[in-house]
Amino acid sequence: MNIISQATAFGGMQGVYSHESEACKCEMTFAVFAPPKAINEPCPVLWYLSGLTCTHANVMEKGEYRRMAAELGLIIVCPDTSPRGNDIPDELTNWQMGKGAGFYLDATEEPWAENYRMYTYITEELPALVAKQFRIDKSRQGIFGHSMGGHGALTIALRNPDRFRSCSAFAPIVEPSTADWSAPAFEKYLGSDRAAWRKYDACALVSDGARFPEFLIDQGKADGFLDNGLRPWLFDEAIKDTDIKLTLRMHERYDHSYYFISTFMDNHLTWHAERLG
């Protein structure tokens, strides 16, 4: 692991790091905020997954999480959204596909299958690396994210309920298999057999029997992607007649930006801390 930068913030350390990824077969960059408490003892860890076109830097620079994370003693890990590099397949004119648009899945179709293995990277490779380098309490992990990252958080929690104790999302894509901006990418990454898409679709996972105790979702009513891509009400419908609890909060005037995310970041961190103990 290489250190790109480190800076003290609220008594803790905000770092940016890189490493050679076996899953993605390229150099990957990620950010970690370690609170002051992590100097002396293991701390619970929250994984934040970013949205389309983003990198680790968006939430690190605009998410405003460090003050509360320091106060609550939470380690925040912010991975990148896709593999990167000159040799990585991409669609330069399509922001919904390729670099910045990994959708937290393991691609099976060429030319994407060799590098676009973000599900394995997020659930296996990066956690193993972080556990070696930082004082994390692996028994207390939560996951959250924004938009495409909200989709990733929901699906990863549903598929790994024994690892994660909490999950929340800002404006998530809850049914990417039918959303305008994700269904075309799913077909390119995973092929035309939609049965293969279901394990990366939160609504489909619930329908197929996946369970997680509780979710928190915040959504802005002024979000321009609300009706054609996000549609959180579909997840609300999907969990009916299950024992899954959902707090879905719709906010007047808020859009899809980090102004929205930073407004409710403290609330999400506190919510996770209560469940991580």
Domain count, the chain: 1
Q: What is the mean pLDDT of residues 76-97?
A: 96
Q: What's the pLDDT tens digit per position in 155-209?
A: 999 999 999 999 999 999 999 999 988 999 999 999 999 999 999 999 999 999 9
- Report the DSSP pairing between strands 26-34 and 43-49: unpaired
pLDDT of amino acid 277: 87
Q: What does the alpha-carbon distance between residue 271 and residue 219 come to, in Å, rounded to a whole number?
A: 16
Helix, strand, coil in percent for the chain, rounding step 5: 35, 25, 40
pLDDT of amino acid 120: 98
Q: What is the mean pLDDT of residues 109-122?
A: 98
Active site residues: 147, 223, 256
pLDDT of amino acid 241: 93
Residues in the chain: 277
* Three-state secondary-structure class, residue 234: helix
In this structure, are residues 172 and 179 in contact, taking their beta carbons and an 8 Å threshold? no
Q: What is the mean pLDDT of residues 228-232?
A: 95
HSE, side-chain direction, 13 A CA sphere, residue 158: 27
The residue to which tokens 């609220």 are assigned: 10
Q: Is the pLDDT of residue 46 over 90?
A: yes
69: CB partners within 8 A, 6+ apart: 10, 12, 33, 35, 46, 75, 76, 269
Q: What's the pLDDT tens digit per position in 239-270?
A: 999 999 999 999 999 999 999 999 999 999 99
- Split at pLDDT 50, 70, 90, the class of 103 is very high
Q: Which domain holds residue 57?
A: 2-276
In this structure, are residues 152 and 49 in contact, taking their beta carbons and an 8 Å threshold? yes
CATH classification of the domain holding 153: 3.40.50.1820
- Listed residue (114, 141, 113) closest to 127, CA to CA: 141
